[in-house]
Amino acid sequence: MTSVVNGLLDDWCNGWLGRAKHMPSPNYNCRPEGAVVNLLVIHNISLPPGQFGTPYIERLFQNNLSWDEHPYFKTIEGLEVSAHFLIKQDGELVQFVSCDDRAWHAGASSFCGKESCNDYSIGIELEGTDTAPYTDAQYLALVTLSRQLQTAFPEITTSRIKGHSDIAPGRKTDPGESFDWTRYLNALDV
């Protein structure tokens, strides 16, 4: 992040957004040399599935999840994943990986014929499921964050904001049918 544009970048330092709660994850690495960040990927997550307001997402992304704490956790034991951001149901914004680095959020993926979306994307997790409605606070936080990211990374145009399902079809379904793309994109364009 090199300059302040309309006051939107004054909160960034080395790829970290100052207004976000910082919970650094070990699950990241450097982007490939010359990689240009030009894709924003929207995900959803809840741990255990369908339960909100738990500390388990943060623990998973920081490799601190006790696999014995819930039967579902045994099915993901050893998983090492992260996202750049998490937006909780109440709109709280948590950052796990610097936007300058590659978070491990997309897995096997491609966009416009280019594989390995982690190399050139920012990943945002929404606390939720494919079928539960997202909250007003989440949409507000997502729109605000998306605008900041588009200012910081001008090649993330509206047409380059996609769901995990778009870059990993058949393998992923999030953010799911409950995500209101029209509401989000219309708010983003205001």
pLDDT the model gives residue 4: 34
Residue 178 φ then ψ, to 5°: -80, -10
pTM score, two decimals? 0.94
Q: Which helix (H) or strand (E) holds 146?
A: helix 136-152
Q: Which residues contact 113 (CB under 8 A, 6 or more apart)?
A: none
pLDDT the model gives residue 189: 87
* pLDDT tens digits, 96-106: 999 999 999 99
d(C-alpha 158, C-alpha 80), whole Å: 29
HSE toward the beta carbon, residue 43, CA cutoff 13 A: 25
Q: Which of 178, 105, 102, 97 is nearest to 138 (CA)?
A: 178
d(C-alpha 77, C-alpha 94), whole Å: 23
Measured between alpha carbons, how far is residue 88 from residues 20, 121, 126, 136, 177 in Å? 12, 20, 6, 11, 18
Q: Which residues are catalytic?
A: 125
CB of 37 within 8 A of CB of 58? no
Share of the chain residues as helix, strand and coil, in percent rounded to the nearest 5: 25, 20, 55
**CATH assignment of 12-189, given 3.40.80.10, 3.90.1150.10, 1.10.486.10, 3.30.497.10?**
3.40.80.10
* pLDDT of the chain, 190 residues: tens digit per residue: 333 333 444 589 999 999 999 999 999 999 999 999 999 999 999 999 999 999 999 999 999 999 999 999 999 999 999 999 999 999 999 999 999 999 999 999 999 999 999 999 999 999 999 999 999 999 999 999 999 999 999 999 999 999 999 999 999 999 999 999 999 999 998 7
CB of 36 within 8 A of CB of 155? yes
Domain boundaries, the chain: 12-189
Residue 150 φ then ψ, to 5°: -65, -30
Structure tokens at 11: 């909160």
Owner of token pair 């929207």? 42
pLDDT the model gives residue 190: 79
